[in-house]
Amino acid sequence: MSETQQPQLAVFQPSPEFLARAKRMDDAMHLRKPDRVPVAPLVVHYYPTRVRGISNKDAMYHPERAVQAWKESTLQHNWDAAVPWGSLLTAQAWDILAITQVKWPGRALADNQPFQWVEAEYMRQDEYDEFLSDPNGFAVKKLWPRISTVLAPIGGMAQMPAPPLAFLSNAYTLPGLLGEIASAPPLKEILKKVLELTEFHERNKQITIAYIMEMMNLGFPIPFAAITFPAFDWISDCLRGMKGAMLDMYQVPDKLLAAIDMFTPMTIGGCIMTAQQTGNKGVFIPMHRGAAGFMSDKQFARFYWPCFKALLLGLIDAGLTPIPLIEGDYTPRLEYFTELPRGKVAGHFDHVDRKKAKKLLGDVMCFWGNVPASLMVAGTPQKVKDDVKELIDIFGDNGGLIIDSTMGLPDESRQENVQALTDAVHEYGINKL
């Protein structure tokens, strides 16, 4: 398919291979014994494209090449789920809006560097009250202009008093004033960019849908559709920055908690809507600030765990399966997860004491992970297989295990080591169960 052609959407016809893999994944995630331990990368950025000689820049500017590489890697390594659709964002949307909150290859970064988040205080501490009183207005007037050069003029325009909408409710005033507003040079340029964004979004959506349908017809389920953050991470990552959020815990804790309470329902509602639209019950939840080293256990109990637990329970109550990407060392936090209902969460772990996790959570939640990234990049296939066997020996008895690396596949993973993950579960995962 050329990059200018619209993809042809296929009708999904579940094959025996699809049903077997989907059941295997579902059984493992819900603590039922599958026919074998599944192997499925939860996060995949540049590994599939890198090993095929595609630069990071081309991967992000040519989604057709990226999804083809995802397909080839899924087939090559015989994973139990396809590379998730949101694994690598497309750079055109950032280009169109001139986003400043991210740097990416081909613009601010070299062609083979990975994209990078630009952390900053996009909301100042003294703006909490304004944000809490009018979050929608604050987003348009302050946040959009701060993260997008294209949208910057909105900040000044939003300060101008707008006519009452009732005044525009007749045939004389509506065409004239609406036309005057829309034809103002700053807004006119913004509207052009928005139209460009909608056209790109539609093309990209068609590519995404075609990829998902093709992979499902080839026999590979998609592990999730919806993506969300815990409320604390929304604020710390996107608004206040790490430094700002950490200071807020000491200087304005009540305002931080009020913002967390405001964000928490939004972290749940969008996922429910996406699940209804796609029919996919998996919800990917990347987590950042709750790990040991970012905050004390006392702070975790006050600021992080309540909103995270509310998110998990809200998704579970809606019949969805939370899949938190538990980044950093969570060994000191494991006891909190014992409060969760059995077999409802598939936790993808980065660094953790495996035996302690088994002891505390073996009958609570699926363990997804966590072959060290160092082994995937610099180890040997045998060392990778040995580590997979250790995971199966520890967690495989109750079925609640899915094999992956610590943070998904590292970009620099060796192909033979990636294949070793699959070879190991085929060698050790069946006999264990």
Quick one: what percent of the chain has pLDDT higher than 70? 95
Q: In sequence order, which residues have a C-beta less than 8 Å from that of residue 53 and are 6 or more positions away?
A: none
Whole-number pLDDT of residue 166: 76
Q: What is the pLDDT of residues 67-116, one digit of tens each?
A: 999 999 999 999 999 999 877 788 999 999 999 999 999 999 999 999 99
Burial (CB < 10 A; 0-12, 13-18, 19+), residue 42, is: buried
Which of 363, 331, 135 shows the shortest CA–CA distance to 143?
135
Count CB neighbours of 306 within 10 A. Answer: 18
432 pLDDT more than 70:
no
Q: What is the pLDDT of residues 362-406, one digit of tens each?
A: 999 999 999 999 999 999 999 999 999 999 999 988 789 999 999
Whole-number pLDDT of residue 158: 61
Helical pair 173-182 and 185-217, crossing angle rounded to 10 deg: 80
Residue with the bigger pLDDT between 38 and 173: it is 38
Q: What is the pLDDT of residues 150-183, one digit of tens each?
A: 999 887 766 666 667 777 778 888 888 878 777 8
Q: What value does the mean pLDDT take over residues 426-432?
A: 83
In angstroms, rounded to a whole number, what is the distance separating the alpha carbons of residues 405 and 370? 5
Q: Are 365 and 343 in contact (CB under 8 A)?
A: yes
Q: Compute, in degrees rounded to 10, the torsion defined by CA atoms 396, 398, 402, 404.
A: -40
Q: What value does the mean pLDDT take over residues 32-51?
A: 96
Q: What value does the mean pLDDT take over residues 58-66?
A: 95
